[in-house]
Amino acid sequence: MTQRYAAVDALRGLIMILMAIDHASAFIARQHGAEFWAGAMSAYDSAFPFVTRLVTHLCAPGFFFLMGAGIYWFAASRRKAGWTDGEIARRTALRGLALFAAAQAFEAPMMLLQQKLPPAKAALSRITAPPPNDGTDLYWGFITLTGLGLVMAACAGLLKLPVWMWPVAAGLCLFATNSLLPASGQPEGAWRALLLAPGISEHVLVIYPVIPWLAAAAAGMYFGWRWRERPESGERMAWAAGATLLVAGIALRAAGGWGNIRLPRDGSWIEFLNNVKYPPSAVFLALAIGVDLLLLGALSRAPRILLGERSPLIVFGQTPLFFYLAHFSLLAALAFGFFGEPGTLGMAYAMWAVALAALYPVCAWYRRFKSARPLESFWRLF
């Protein structure tokens, strides 16, 4: 494994570790932010809960972006191994459908189970309205893995297009997200929620709709192509693209208007950085992916201890779906077994550390198991 691709795995592992903070907060402290395009938008009175939420904003944009890059790298490696373009597209779509199936079999029921936990008596952030909804009371959740799976299936179609169309597709998706949300403030149907405007509609809760997050994945596919075509300049490209996106995000937020979806409610630094995630505004994506790319540049020069085979960043980064499913199960067990009443945010961080320590040897074992399977194996889907 080259230093270049080790840095990508390490960034993916860092994203998984940060994501676990958010879920530990939700399960243990019963605290979770909301940043919807209409309705629910968290407000914070102190820095600690906001920063806890802020650092996890790197996760979803970074994971969709790296998924896009990984789809291109998968296609390139399989093409080199003699696979046809049709076989590559079908395999990519099948992986997406496997993620969608995992979401329905595991993730959505786990979210329903989480709702059985007693809520915190005093929330660390104030939410003054529900997510955009049509009045539906009971609903089934299409959450993270649903979005990843459907976007991956869409990327299978992008693989059949010329490379130059990938950034064009990303730009069109970004434009649609920031320009075509319903003026009513409601998803206006389950299909529209699934494609563009997240919220609750027709007994379905959508968190990660396809079009907004396809913007990040399509951009990642193009980045992956550039990275592979010019490996000697990959690190410089990460630094340059990251800095450009970060500056663009700050400028868009400072200017207000298009790309924000919702403007700051006051002049505080918290509100400046408290941006719409559902769906991701242009500001949200630019800031998050910008920081992710700067981290990628830094990890490209990280010491061997962070990029070696035994590094937690590498172990978790090479078993992301397994880690995702396992950490949900472990945090749920800790919550129901030891936290009948909500814990503090400090306790959530402690359980986060416990979960990471417990999952490291399990993920290391699964990595060995998966790597021993042939390329066509079912286990390679995960």
| Residue-wise pLDDT tens digits, 154-166 | 999 999 999 999 9
Strand 199-201 and strand 125-126: pairing?
unpaired
Name residue 126's beta-bridge partners.
Answer: 43
pLDDT for 2 equals 56
Strand 204-206 and strand 199-201: pairing?
antiparallel
Q: Which two tokens stand for residue 78?
A: 């399989």
> Which tens digits make up the pLDDT trace of 84-110?
999 999 999 999 999 999 999 999 888
What is the helix (H) or strand (E) element at residue 206, kind and residue range?
A: strand 204-206
Q: Which two tokens stand for residue 224?
A: 């992956």
Strand 43-44 and strand 125-126: pairing?
antiparallel
CA distances from 249 to 15, 117, 245 (A): 20, 37, 6
Q: What values do phi and psi take at 200, rounded to 5? A: -105, 125
Whole-prediction pTM? 0.95
Pick the more confident residue, 36 or 136.
36
What is the helix (H) or strand (E) element at residue 202, kind and residue range?
A: none
Q: How confident is the model at residue 376 (pLDDT cuts 50, 70, 90)?
A: low
| Mean pLDDT over each residue of the chain, to the nearest integer | 93
pLDDT for 204 equals 92
Q: How confident is the model at residue 281 (pLDDT cuts 50, 70, 90)?
A: very high
Q: What is d(CA 289, CA 247) in angstroms, rounded to the nearest whole number?
A: 12
Q: What values do phi and psi take at 4, rounded to 5? A: -65, -50
Three-class SS state of 259: coil
Q: How confident is the model at residue 4 (pLDDT cuts 50, 70, 90)?
A: low
Q: Which of 10, 9, 11, 5 is nearest to 289 (CA)?
A: 11
pLDDT for 1 equals 47
Pick the more confident residue, 376 or 129.
129
Residue 381 has pLDDT above 70, yes or no: no
Which spans in 25-84 are helix H?
47-56, 59-80
Residue 119 has pLDDT above 60, yes or no: yes
What is the helix (H) or strand (E) element at residue 201, kind and residue range?
A: strand 199-201
Residue 372 has pLDDT above 90, yes or no: no
DSSP letter at 228?
Answer: H
Question: Which residues touch 67 (CB under 8 Å, ≥6 apart)?
Answer: 148, 151, 152, 155, 217, 220
Q: How confident is the model at residue 375 (pLDDT cuts 50, 70, 90)?
A: low
Give me the percent of the chain exceeding a pLDDT of 90: 81
Question: Which residues touch 210 (CB under 8 Å, ≥6 apart)?
Answer: 147, 150, 151, 154, 194, 195, 196
∠ CA(190), CA(158), CA(11), 5° rounding? 90
- When pLDDT is averaged across residues 69-79 and rounded to a whole number, the result is 93
* Number of Cβ within a 10 Å radius of residue 248: 17
Q: At what angle do helices 59-80 and 3-24 cross, to 10 degrees?
A: 140
pLDDT for 280 equals 98
Strand 204-206 and strand 140-142: pairing?
parallel
Q: What is d(CA 155, CA 94) in angstroms, rounded to the nearest whole number?
A: 11
Give me the percent of the chain exceeding a pLDDT of 70: 97
Q: How confident is the model at residue 113 (pLDDT cuts 50, 70, 90)?
A: confident
Q: What is d(CA 374, CA 245) in angstroms, rounded to the nearest whole number?
A: 39
Contact 284/322 with Cβ under 8 angstroms? Answer: no
Q: How confident is the model at residue 380 (pLDDT cuts 50, 70, 90)?
A: low
Contact 208/60 with Cβ under 8 angstroms? Answer: yes
Contact 37/44 with Cβ under 8 angstroms? Answer: no
- When pLDDT is averaged across residues 328-353 and rounded to a whole number, the result is 95
> Which tens digits make up the pLDDT trace of 221-237?
999 999 988 877 788 99
